[in-house]
Amino acid sequence: MSGQVWSRALITGGAGFVGSHLCARLLDAGTDVVCLDNLATGSRANVADLEPRPGFRFVAGDATDPEALTGLPGRFDLVLHFACPASPVDYQRLPLETLDVGSTGTRLALERARADGARFVLASTSEVYGDPLEHPQREGYWGNVNPVGPRSVYDESKRFAEALVTAHRGARGTDAAIVRIFNTYGPRMRTGDGRAVPTFVTQALDGLPLTVAGDGGQTRSLCYVDDTVDGVLALAASAETGPVNIGGGDEITMLELARRIIELTGSASRVRHVGRPVDDPARRRPDTRLARERLGWRPRVGWSEGLERTVGWFSRSVAA
């Protein structure tokens, strides 16, 4: 984390996977934190260890509700907008809510940041690149997105949110930035959220076949959650507007990922190939030159070490 210390931060979606790690990191650094979450996909358990601590407050509320944002007392000097269903299982279950939080939720969070004179960071995603025709993906690439496909509610929600941040900064002078997050994983992921790492780990621990989509040759660049948090806060502490890619540099196939998880868990599970989802990206790896040069950021936890930590957390959670 950078040397910047904020007095008071608002994190929408703060009880979610990445949001809860941001809450903990900021609280550890001496920042008072308000976590706003409607718990549609987040969990109060993710911040249970933080709730007794001075300086932390959980607020049950929806980022698309104007009263939830304006009703928060005091002034913030940092607003991190992380409220949004992020896995295919969730955003396909909550399609309208996903679009609302990218549009109305982003606008309301921006207006609160502007009113308070706060630094604002939007959590965007590698999904804005769609099934990319450019590899690796740099921030200047416009993407290859299907606007009416099964992933469109998430993709277009984030693309609109980026446009809204850009317009708000230009029209209102809001101190706002965009971070594009790639395939973050680690402790506190939900077992049933449909993403590859928690799905494979829980299947392996349960002795079930690991369901690899297609031939498993599609790639992702995994980024351990601690590194993602470092990148988000480095952007927040800078004068950069973004978008800035934050993601891992080690590209791995889904078949290789499944086999590595079987090895780490000591499972007798085998791989079972299933149908590949529509519009599933074939390759994904960020060009992180901008983050390195402008933010001094680079991932420190390799995917092998990160997977060991993640498997250990899931194993302890199952045992508990």
Buried b (16+ CB within 10 A) or exposed e, 148-174: eebbbbbbbbbbebbebbbebbeeeeb
The type of residue at 149 is G
The type of residue at 153 is V
Closest CA to 297 of 240, 230, 252, 250: 230
Closest CA to 232 of 80, 116, 114, 31: 80
- Alpha carbon distance 213, 90 (integer Å): 18
Catalytic residue among 91, 129, 141, 154: 154
- Alpha carbon distance 111, 88 (integer Å): 29
- Alpha carbon distance 190, 212 (integer Å): 18
The type of residue at 188 is R
Pairing assessment for the beta strands 56-60 and 78-81 based on DSSP bridges = unpaired
The type of residue at 151 is R
Torsion angle, alpha carbons of 41, 30, 114, 239, to 10: -100
Tell me the two tokens of residue 112.
Answer: 């609160």
Whether the Cβ atoms of residue 208 and residue 269 lie closer than 8 Å to each other: yes
Whether the Cβ atoms of residue 248 and residue 227 lie closer than 8 Å to each other: yes
Residue positions counted in the chain: 320
Strand partners, 181: 125, 246
Closest CA to 261 of 189, 188, 198, 191: 198
91 is annotated as an active-site residue: no
> Which residues are catalytically annotated?
154
